[in-house]
Structure 1
Amino acid sequence: MSVAESTEQNEHFLSVFRRRFREWRGQRPFWAGLFAILGGIPIVYFPYASLNLGHMTLSLQTNAGSGALIIGVLLFTLGLVLWFQPLVRTFAGVATILLALVSIPMANLGGFFFGFLFALIGGGLGLAWAPGQPTVAPAANEGAAPVLADPSAAQVPGPDQDPAAWGPQNEQTTHDTTIDASGGRNSAG
Protein backbone atom coordinates (compact mmCIF):
# COMPACT_ATOMS: atom_id res chain seq x y z
CA MET A 1 0.00 0.00 0.00
CA SER A 2 1.42 3.35 -0.96
CA VAL A 3 1.57 6.42 1.22
CA ALA A 4 -1.01 8.26 -0.92
CA GLU A 5 -3.54 5.47 -0.49
CA SER A 6 -2.96 5.12 3.22
CA THR A 7 -3.39 8.84 3.93
CA GLU A 8 -6.44 9.01 1.70
CA GLN A 9 -8.11 6.24 3.68
CA ASN A 10 -7.70 8.15 6.94
CA GLU A 11 -8.98 11.49 5.62
CA HIS A 12 -12.53 12.75 5.64
CA PHE A 13 -14.30 12.11 2.34
CA LEU A 14 -14.95 15.83 1.79
CA SER A 15 -11.27 16.71 1.98
CA VAL A 16 -10.47 13.86 -0.45
CA PHE A 17 -13.22 15.08 -2.79
CA ARG A 18 -11.95 18.67 -2.56
CA ARG A 19 -8.36 17.65 -3.34
CA ARG A 20 -9.45 15.50 -6.29
CA PHE A 21 -11.71 18.28 -7.60
CA ARG A 22 -8.87 20.83 -7.37
CA GLU A 23 -6.62 18.44 -9.30
CA TRP A 24 -9.30 17.89 -11.95
CA ARG A 25 -9.99 21.62 -12.17
CA GLY A 26 -6.30 22.41 -12.66
CA GLN A 27 -6.06 20.16 -15.73
CA ARG A 28 -8.66 21.99 -17.83
CA PRO A 29 -10.03 25.50 -18.48
CA PHE A 30 -12.53 25.24 -15.64
CA TRP A 31 -13.34 28.93 -15.24
CA ALA A 32 -13.74 29.36 -18.99
CA GLY A 33 -16.34 26.61 -19.06
CA LEU A 34 -18.12 27.99 -16.02
CA PHE A 35 -18.35 31.48 -17.51
CA ALA A 36 -19.59 30.06 -20.82
CA ILE A 37 -22.32 28.10 -19.01
CA LEU A 38 -23.25 31.14 -16.92
CA GLY A 39 -23.39 33.19 -20.12
CA GLY A 40 -25.92 30.84 -21.67
CA ILE A 41 -28.32 30.93 -18.73
CA PRO A 42 -29.51 34.58 -18.94
CA ILE A 43 -29.60 34.42 -22.74
CA VAL A 44 -32.07 31.52 -22.55
CA TYR A 45 -33.93 32.73 -19.45
CA PHE A 46 -35.03 36.26 -20.34
CA PRO A 47 -37.05 35.53 -23.51
CA TYR A 48 -39.08 32.83 -21.72
CA ALA A 49 -39.41 34.37 -18.25
CA SER A 50 -42.35 36.24 -16.77
CA LEU A 51 -41.76 38.71 -13.97
CA ASN A 52 -44.61 39.31 -11.51
CA LEU A 53 -44.73 42.78 -9.97
CA GLY A 54 -47.72 42.69 -7.63
CA HIS A 55 -50.71 41.91 -9.82
CA MET A 56 -48.93 42.89 -13.00
CA THR A 57 -47.07 40.33 -15.11
CA LEU A 58 -44.19 41.45 -17.30
CA SER A 59 -43.03 39.11 -20.01
CA LEU A 60 -40.52 39.74 -22.73
CA GLN A 61 -42.07 38.14 -25.80
CA THR A 62 -40.09 38.58 -28.97
CA ASN A 63 -39.58 36.68 -32.16
CA ALA A 64 -35.99 36.04 -31.10
CA GLY A 65 -36.98 33.33 -28.63
CA SER A 66 -35.81 30.46 -30.81
CA GLY A 67 -32.52 32.22 -31.57
CA ALA A 68 -31.95 32.84 -27.87
CA LEU A 69 -32.69 29.20 -27.10
CA ILE A 70 -30.21 27.98 -29.72
CA ILE A 71 -27.49 30.41 -28.64
CA GLY A 72 -27.97 29.63 -24.95
CA VAL A 73 -27.92 25.87 -25.45
CA LEU A 74 -24.81 26.13 -27.63
CA LEU A 75 -23.05 28.25 -24.99
CA PHE A 76 -23.98 25.72 -22.33
CA THR A 77 -22.67 22.91 -24.53
CA LEU A 78 -19.44 24.77 -25.28
CA GLY A 79 -18.94 25.28 -21.55
CA LEU A 80 -19.20 21.53 -21.04
CA VAL A 81 -16.84 20.97 -23.98
CA LEU A 82 -14.28 23.25 -22.32
CA TRP A 83 -14.55 21.13 -19.16
CA PHE A 84 -14.47 17.66 -20.64
CA GLN A 85 -12.51 18.13 -23.90
CA PRO A 86 -9.75 20.66 -23.12
CA LEU A 87 -7.91 19.82 -26.34
CA VAL A 88 -10.49 21.73 -28.40
CA ARG A 89 -10.30 24.81 -26.18
CA THR A 90 -9.29 27.07 -29.07
CA PHE A 91 -12.32 26.15 -31.16
CA ALA A 92 -14.64 26.32 -28.15
CA GLY A 93 -13.22 29.71 -27.12
CA VAL A 94 -13.65 31.22 -30.58
CA ALA A 95 -17.15 29.75 -30.94
CA THR A 96 -18.11 31.09 -27.51
CA ILE A 97 -16.92 34.59 -28.40
CA LEU A 98 -18.77 34.51 -31.73
CA LEU A 99 -21.98 33.29 -30.10
CA ALA A 100 -21.66 36.03 -27.47
CA LEU A 101 -21.38 38.63 -30.21
CA VAL A 102 -24.30 37.15 -32.16
CA SER A 103 -26.43 37.14 -29.00
CA ILE A 104 -26.48 40.96 -28.86
CA PRO A 105 -28.84 41.46 -31.82
CA MET A 106 -30.46 38.01 -31.70
CA ALA A 107 -31.20 37.41 -28.01
CA ASN A 108 -32.41 40.58 -26.27
CA LEU A 109 -29.07 42.36 -26.09
CA GLY A 110 -27.27 39.18 -25.08
CA GLY A 111 -29.40 38.55 -22.02
CA PHE A 112 -29.32 42.25 -21.14
CA PHE A 113 -25.52 42.18 -21.43
CA PHE A 114 -25.13 39.73 -18.50
CA GLY A 115 -24.99 36.67 -20.72
CA PHE A 116 -22.93 38.51 -23.30
CA LEU A 117 -20.26 39.52 -20.77
CA PHE A 118 -20.10 36.10 -19.12
CA ALA A 119 -19.80 34.36 -22.49
CA LEU A 120 -17.21 36.84 -23.73
CA ILE A 121 -15.07 36.34 -20.61
CA GLY A 122 -15.47 32.56 -20.86
CA GLY A 123 -14.42 32.52 -24.51
CA GLY A 124 -11.40 34.69 -23.78
CA LEU A 125 -10.35 32.47 -20.90
CA GLY A 126 -10.81 29.40 -23.10
CA LEU A 127 -8.50 30.89 -25.71
CA ALA A 128 -5.91 32.00 -23.17
CA TRP A 129 -5.74 28.78 -21.14
CA ALA A 130 -2.74 26.52 -21.66
CA PRO A 131 -2.03 23.25 -19.87
CA GLY A 132 0.50 23.52 -17.07
CA GLN A 133 3.89 21.85 -17.11
CA PRO A 134 4.05 18.65 -15.06
CA THR A 135 5.93 18.99 -11.82
CA VAL A 136 9.14 17.04 -11.48
CA ALA A 137 9.53 14.83 -8.43
CA PRO A 138 12.49 15.80 -6.23
CA ALA A 139 15.62 13.78 -6.84
CA ALA A 140 17.07 11.39 -4.27
CA ASN A 141 19.97 13.76 -3.56
CA GLU A 142 18.00 16.80 -2.43
CA GLY A 143 21.03 18.42 -0.76
CA ALA A 144 23.14 18.39 -3.92
CA ALA A 145 23.47 21.45 -6.14
CA PRO A 146 21.35 21.42 -9.31
CA VAL A 147 23.13 20.29 -12.43
CA LEU A 148 23.03 22.84 -15.24
CA ALA A 149 23.09 21.86 -18.87
CA ASP A 150 25.24 24.86 -19.83
CA PRO A 151 28.20 25.35 -17.46
CA SER A 152 28.66 28.97 -18.58
CA ALA A 153 25.14 29.78 -17.31
CA ALA A 154 26.33 29.29 -13.72
CA GLN A 155 28.95 32.04 -14.04
CA VAL A 156 26.68 35.05 -13.89
CA PRO A 157 28.08 37.84 -11.70
CA GLY A 158 26.00 38.77 -8.69
CA PRO A 159 25.16 42.33 -7.61
CA ASP A 160 28.03 42.38 -5.08
CA GLN A 161 30.68 41.08 -7.50
CA ASP A 162 32.73 42.92 -10.07
CA PRO A 163 31.77 41.77 -13.59
CA ALA A 164 35.28 42.52 -14.84
CA ALA A 165 36.66 39.85 -12.50
CA TRP A 166 34.88 37.13 -14.43
CA GLY A 167 37.23 37.46 -17.37
CA PRO A 168 36.47 36.12 -20.83
CA GLN A 169 33.10 34.63 -19.89
CA ASN A 170 31.68 38.15 -19.67
CA GLU A 171 32.60 39.06 -23.25
CA GLN A 172 29.67 39.51 -25.54
CA THR A 173 29.89 37.67 -28.83
CA THR A 174 27.39 39.14 -31.23
CA HIS A 175 27.31 38.36 -34.89
CA ASP A 176 25.70 40.61 -37.43
CA THR A 177 23.97 38.54 -40.05
CA THR A 178 22.85 41.48 -42.16
CA ILE A 179 24.94 43.62 -44.43
CA ASP A 180 24.15 46.88 -42.64
CA ALA A 181 23.11 46.11 -39.07
CA SER A 182 22.83 49.78 -38.06
CA GLY A 183 22.79 48.99 -34.36
CA GLY A 184 20.07 46.35 -34.69
CA ARG A 185 17.42 48.74 -35.94
CA ASN A 186 15.76 48.38 -39.27
CA SER A 187 14.81 51.31 -41.40
CA ALA A 188 12.25 51.29 -44.12
CA GLY A 189 12.68 53.41 -47.16
Structure 2
Amino acid sequence: MTRQQYIMNDETMYIVAKPNGRYVESSIAELYGDPILCLKSPNKIIEYNCKYHSQNYVSRKDLTKGLTDIRAKHPIIVDLFASYIYFCTHSDRVMENSWFNLKYIKRYYEYRGMTKVIFENNEELKVDISYSSFNNQYLNAVRLYYKFTLEKEKYYKKSHNQTITYEQFQTDESHEVNYINEAARAAYKKYMRGIDELNSLI
Protein backbone atom coordinates (compact mmCIF):
# COMPACT_ATOMS: atom_id res chain seq x y z
CA MET A 1 0.00 0.00 0.00
CA THR A 2 1.46 3.38 -1.04
CA ARG A 3 0.19 6.71 0.26
CA GLN A 4 0.86 10.35 -0.54
CA GLN A 5 0.65 11.26 3.17
CA TYR A 6 0.22 9.44 6.47
CA ILE A 7 -1.69 10.28 9.66
CA MET A 8 0.07 8.82 12.68
CA ASN A 9 -2.06 6.94 15.18
CA ASP A 10 -1.81 5.08 18.48
CA GLU A 11 -0.49 1.95 16.72
CA THR A 12 2.27 3.62 14.67
CA MET A 13 5.54 2.00 15.76
CA TYR A 14 8.08 3.65 13.49
CA ILE A 15 8.67 5.68 10.34
CA VAL A 16 11.99 4.83 8.70
CA ALA A 17 13.68 6.44 5.73
CA LYS A 18 13.62 4.53 2.44
CA PRO A 19 15.91 6.09 -0.21
CA ASN A 20 14.54 5.94 -3.75
CA GLY A 21 16.96 7.48 -6.21
CA ARG A 22 17.12 11.23 -5.59
CA TYR A 23 14.19 11.04 -3.19
CA VAL A 24 13.64 9.75 0.33
CA GLU A 25 10.35 8.00 1.04
CA SER A 26 9.10 6.27 4.20
CA SER A 27 8.42 2.75 5.31
CA ILE A 28 5.90 2.78 8.15
CA ALA A 29 5.03 -0.04 10.52
CA GLU A 30 1.95 -0.25 12.71
CA LEU A 31 1.41 -2.69 15.54
CA TYR A 32 -0.72 -4.88 13.26
CA GLY A 33 -0.89 -5.23 9.50
CA ASP A 34 1.49 -4.93 6.57
CA PRO A 35 4.11 -2.20 6.15
CA ILE A 36 2.92 1.05 4.62
CA LEU A 37 4.91 2.96 2.00
CA CYS A 38 4.56 6.75 1.96
CA LEU A 39 6.02 9.00 -0.72
CA LYS A 40 6.98 11.63 1.87
CA SER A 41 10.19 11.49 3.92
CA PRO A 42 9.93 10.68 7.65
CA ASN A 43 10.74 14.31 8.53
CA LYS A 44 7.92 15.58 6.31
CA ILE A 45 5.49 13.11 7.89
CA ILE A 46 6.44 14.30 11.39
CA GLU A 47 6.03 17.94 10.35
CA TYR A 48 2.65 17.23 8.76
CA ASN A 49 1.39 15.41 11.85
CA CYS A 50 2.49 18.18 14.20
CA LYS A 51 0.39 20.60 12.13
CA TYR A 52 -2.44 18.06 12.08
CA HIS A 53 -2.38 18.19 15.90
CA SER A 54 -2.55 22.01 16.01
CA GLN A 55 1.09 23.08 16.40
CA ASN A 56 4.01 23.25 14.02
CA TYR A 57 7.16 21.17 14.31
CA VAL A 58 9.30 24.09 15.55
CA SER A 59 6.86 24.69 18.42
CA ARG A 60 7.08 21.02 19.37
CA LYS A 61 10.88 21.27 19.42
CA ASP A 62 10.68 24.37 21.62
CA LEU A 63 8.40 22.51 24.03
CA THR A 64 10.97 19.69 24.26
CA LYS A 65 13.78 22.21 24.87
CA GLY A 66 11.78 23.95 27.59
CA LEU A 67 10.94 20.73 29.42
CA THR A 68 14.27 18.91 29.09
CA ASP A 69 17.06 21.26 27.95
CA ILE A 70 17.87 18.76 25.19
CA ARG A 71 19.60 20.81 22.47
CA ALA A 72 19.96 18.45 19.51
CA LYS A 73 18.07 15.56 17.87
CA HIS A 74 14.98 16.46 19.86
CA PRO A 75 12.37 13.83 20.69
CA ILE A 76 8.93 15.14 19.81
CA ILE A 77 5.50 14.90 21.45
CA VAL A 78 3.43 14.70 18.28
CA ASP A 79 0.00 14.57 19.94
CA LEU A 80 -0.22 16.13 23.40
CA PHE A 81 -3.51 14.38 24.17
CA ALA A 82 -2.29 10.86 23.46
CA SER A 83 1.37 11.67 24.23
CA TYR A 84 2.83 10.13 21.08
CA ILE A 85 6.55 10.59 21.79
CA TYR A 86 8.93 9.89 18.90
CA PHE A 87 12.71 10.01 18.86
CA CYS A 88 14.94 10.31 15.82
CA THR A 89 18.12 8.63 14.61
CA HIS A 90 19.79 11.70 13.09
CA SER A 91 19.51 15.46 12.93
CA ASP A 92 16.28 16.65 11.31
CA ARG A 93 18.49 18.31 8.68
CA VAL A 94 19.27 14.80 7.38
CA MET A 95 16.71 13.48 4.89
CA GLU A 96 17.46 9.87 5.88
CA ASN A 97 16.41 10.57 9.46
CA SER A 98 14.04 7.95 10.95
CA TRP A 99 11.58 8.18 13.86
CA PHE A 100 10.54 5.63 16.51
CA ASN A 101 7.58 5.56 18.87
CA LEU A 102 8.96 5.28 22.41
CA LYS A 103 6.18 3.10 23.79
CA TYR A 104 6.65 0.27 21.28
CA ILE A 105 10.38 -0.30 21.88
CA LYS A 106 10.61 -3.61 23.74
CA ARG A 107 14.41 -3.89 23.77
CA TYR A 108 17.44 -3.17 21.60
CA TYR A 109 21.06 -4.27 21.40
CA GLU A 110 24.29 -3.80 19.46
CA TYR A 111 24.41 -5.76 16.21
CA ARG A 112 27.49 -5.64 13.93
CA GLY A 113 28.11 -1.95 14.50
CA MET A 114 24.42 -1.15 14.16
CA THR A 115 21.42 -1.55 16.47
CA LYS A 116 18.80 -4.27 16.36
CA VAL A 117 15.43 -3.19 17.76
CA ILE A 118 12.72 -5.53 19.02
CA PHE A 119 9.23 -4.05 19.11
CA GLU A 120 6.25 -4.96 21.28
CA ASN A 121 4.79 -7.16 18.53
CA ASN A 122 8.18 -8.98 18.36
CA GLU A 123 9.06 -7.49 14.98
CA GLU A 124 12.82 -7.02 14.57
CA LEU A 125 14.50 -4.17 12.69
CA LYS A 126 18.16 -3.42 12.02
CA VAL A 127 18.86 0.28 12.31
CA ASP A 128 21.98 1.80 10.75
CA ILE A 129 23.04 3.70 13.85
CA SER A 130 25.43 2.74 16.64
CA TYR A 131 24.07 1.28 19.85
CA SER A 132 25.38 4.21 21.91
CA SER A 133 23.65 6.76 19.66
CA PHE A 134 20.37 4.84 19.63
CA ASN A 135 20.52 4.38 23.39
CA ASN A 136 21.13 8.11 23.91
CA GLN A 137 18.14 9.02 21.73
CA TYR A 138 15.94 6.49 23.51
CA LEU A 139 16.91 7.87 26.94
CA ASN A 140 16.21 11.42 25.75
CA ALA A 141 12.69 10.33 24.80
CA VAL A 142 12.24 8.71 28.23
CA ARG A 143 13.40 11.96 29.80
CA LEU A 144 10.85 13.95 27.80
CA TYR A 145 8.06 11.56 28.80
CA TYR A 146 9.07 11.83 32.47
CA LYS A 147 9.27 15.63 32.44
CA PHE A 148 6.01 15.97 30.55
CA THR A 149 4.25 13.67 33.04
CA LEU A 150 5.64 15.63 36.00
CA GLU A 151 4.42 18.92 34.53
CA LYS A 152 0.98 17.45 33.93
CA GLU A 153 0.74 16.21 37.53
CA LYS A 154 1.97 19.55 38.93
CA TYR A 155 -0.59 21.45 36.89
CA TYR A 156 -3.33 19.07 38.02
CA LYS A 157 -2.44 19.51 41.69
CA LYS A 158 -2.14 23.28 41.36
CA SER A 159 -5.38 23.82 39.45
CA HIS A 160 -7.77 21.27 40.88
CA ASN A 161 -6.83 20.82 44.54
CA GLN A 162 -7.80 17.14 44.44
CA THR A 163 -11.41 17.94 43.48
CA ILE A 164 -11.24 15.41 40.65
CA THR A 165 -9.12 12.31 40.22
CA TYR A 166 -6.05 12.36 38.01
CA GLU A 167 -7.71 9.72 35.80
CA GLN A 168 -10.69 12.01 35.28
CA PHE A 169 -8.33 14.86 34.50
CA GLN A 170 -6.62 12.79 31.80
CA THR A 171 -9.90 12.01 30.06
CA ASP A 172 -11.43 15.49 30.29
CA GLU A 173 -10.50 17.39 27.12
CA SER A 174 -11.06 20.84 28.63
CA HIS A 175 -8.55 20.13 31.39
CA GLU A 176 -6.09 18.77 28.84
CA VAL A 177 -6.40 21.90 26.71
CA ASN A 178 -5.73 24.06 29.77
CA TYR A 179 -2.69 21.97 30.60
CA ILE A 180 -1.33 22.15 27.06
CA ASN A 181 -1.62 25.94 27.02
CA GLU A 182 0.01 26.21 30.45
CA ALA A 183 2.85 23.80 29.66
CA ALA A 184 3.56 25.41 26.31
CA ARG A 185 3.55 28.88 27.89
CA ALA A 186 5.94 27.81 30.68
CA ALA A 187 8.25 26.07 28.23
CA TYR A 188 8.33 29.09 25.95
CA LYS A 189 9.15 31.44 28.84
CA LYS A 190 11.98 29.16 29.95
CA TYR A 191 13.27 28.97 26.38
CA MET A 192 13.23 32.77 26.00
CA ARG A 193 15.00 33.23 29.36
CA GLY A 194 17.79 31.05 28.02
CA ILE A 195 18.02 33.20 24.88
CA ASP A 196 18.18 36.36 27.01
CA GLU A 197 20.97 34.85 29.13
CA LEU A 198 22.97 33.97 26.03
CA ASN A 199 22.51 37.47 24.61
CA SER A 200 23.74 39.01 27.85
CA LEU A 201 27.01 37.12 27.47
CA ILE A 202 27.67 38.40 23.95
Structure 2 length as normaliser, TM-score?
0.22
Bigger relative CO (Cα 8 Å, ≥ 6 apart): 1
Structure whose CA Rg is larger: 1
Greater per-residue helix proportion: 1
More strand per residue: 2
Give TM-score scaled by structure 1 length: 0.23
